[in-house]
A and B are shown apart, each in its own frame.
Chain A
């Protein structure tokens, strides 16, 4: 059974194919899509521990995709992949809610570490949500 599940969003399928295979070797299932639009359809129906998102894509670019993903589900952990890690785009991505960003070509070990960190953050967020829900139910019951 896979340790986790990752969504790879990048229009360069030559890149995402081998990356997905390498993640599988490291115990993570990976789904690949070539556009932000396809990713938005997928996240409604499948849970992902982390999303790896390319900054520059045809049509809906990485920033717009990030914005819309976060609108759908603020708990989504999105790691931006950028060809040029300039401070400005990094800050903008973090402001929009990206969990982290990495410059391409990315070292696989560094990427896996960031994915596992994102996975841990997501678990904490889900636990907190459940705790808040339970507390809300208890308050409503008014013992």
Chain B
């Protein structure tokens, strides 16, 4: 049984907004980078137009290249905004049926900048067939993010961190596989919080070791609140 003291209760209470804040700060940083790049590209266009008054027209190839780079940044920015929007809406309902594969892909994308700072690579491996879970989407995303954060903190960045999902009868398993730099200790952050979140989701968390020193963090949740399996349409 996990004992959560008063500080821990406060910690659990604050952890949701803290998680939301961290992700929002990370995404807005990404958006700021896109806007900075758009600023430089459009500024360069202005400079070329100004220089063109003296040096003659800007070569069409140069203009085309600049336009392509601007378009690429707009696409990048749009994808980032859509991710943030989807993440923000995961707080709309405390119980919802979601495609687990899509949810994992979203969390991996949101965790991308954190991984890049550690020079680590994250990848999702699709389950055989898509399947849904009935759960609290925000809590689930938070739990998976904590698991990824643990893998990033203790994992060797030379090795890929993979996230996959599997269905076993009435349970869904989310498996985060990584190669640790040293044998991970299951004490301290994020274990108490992760354990509490998984309990709130009606599930469990465990860490097992496999071949080639690969460790697997396994988050298990019921497919539905009622325990009945649901299938993707």
Contacts and interface: CB of A to CB of B under 8 A. Distances in A.
Interface of A: 12, 14-15, 18-19, 21-22, 25, 56-59, 61, 83-84, 104-106, 108
A18 B41 contact: yes
Max count, chain A CB within 10 A of own CB: residue among B39, B69, B72:
B39
Contacts of B33: 12, 15, 83, 104
B29 interface: yes
B40 A22 contact: yes
A108 B40 CA distance: 8
Contacts of A18: 37, 40-41, 43-44, 69
Interface in B198-226: none
Interface stretch (B102-110, B111-119, B173-181): B111-119
Interface string B42-80: 011001000100000000000000000100110000000
The list of the 3 closest CB pairs from A to B, nearest first, reads A18-B40, A105-B36, A105-B39
A105 B117 CA distance: 21
B32 interface: yes
Contact of B37 (A12, A56, A58, A83): A12
A25 B117 contact: no
Interface of B: 29, 32-33, 35-37, 39-41, 43-44, 47, 51, 69, 72-73, 116-119
A106 B36 contact: yes
Contact of B43 (A12, A58, A83, A108): A108
B190 to A, nearest CB: 22
Max count, chain B CB within 10 A of own CB: residue among A12, A21, A59, A105:
A105
Classify the secondary structure of A's interface with B. Answer: loop
Contacts of B47: 21-22, 25
A114 B197 CA distance: 49
Contacts of B44: 18, 21-22, 25
Max count, chain A CB within 10 A of own CB: residue among B29, B33, B73:
B33
B229 to A, nearest CB: 41
Contacts of B117: 56-59, 61
A74 to B, nearest CB: 28
B32 A83 contact: yes
A19 B41 CA distance: 8
A84 B115 CA distance: 20
A19 B149 CA distance: 34
Given A21-B47, A56-B29, A58-B119, 14 more contacts: A12-B33, A12-B36, A14-B37, A14-B73, A15-B40, A18-B41, A18-B44, A19-B40, A22-B43, A22-B47, A59-B119, A84-B32, A104-B32, A105-B36
A15 B35 CA distance: 10
B116 A58 contact: yes
Contacts of A21: 44, 47
Nearest to B39: A105
29 contacts: A12-B33, A12-B36, A12-B37, A14-B37, A14-B69, A14-B72, A15-B36, A15-B37, A15-B40, A18-B37, A18-B40, A18-B43, A21-B44, A22-B40, A56-B29, A58-B116, A58-B117, A58-B118, A58-B119, A61-B117, A83-B29, A83-B33, A84-B29, A84-B32, A104-B33, A104-B36, A105-B35, A105-B36, A106-B36
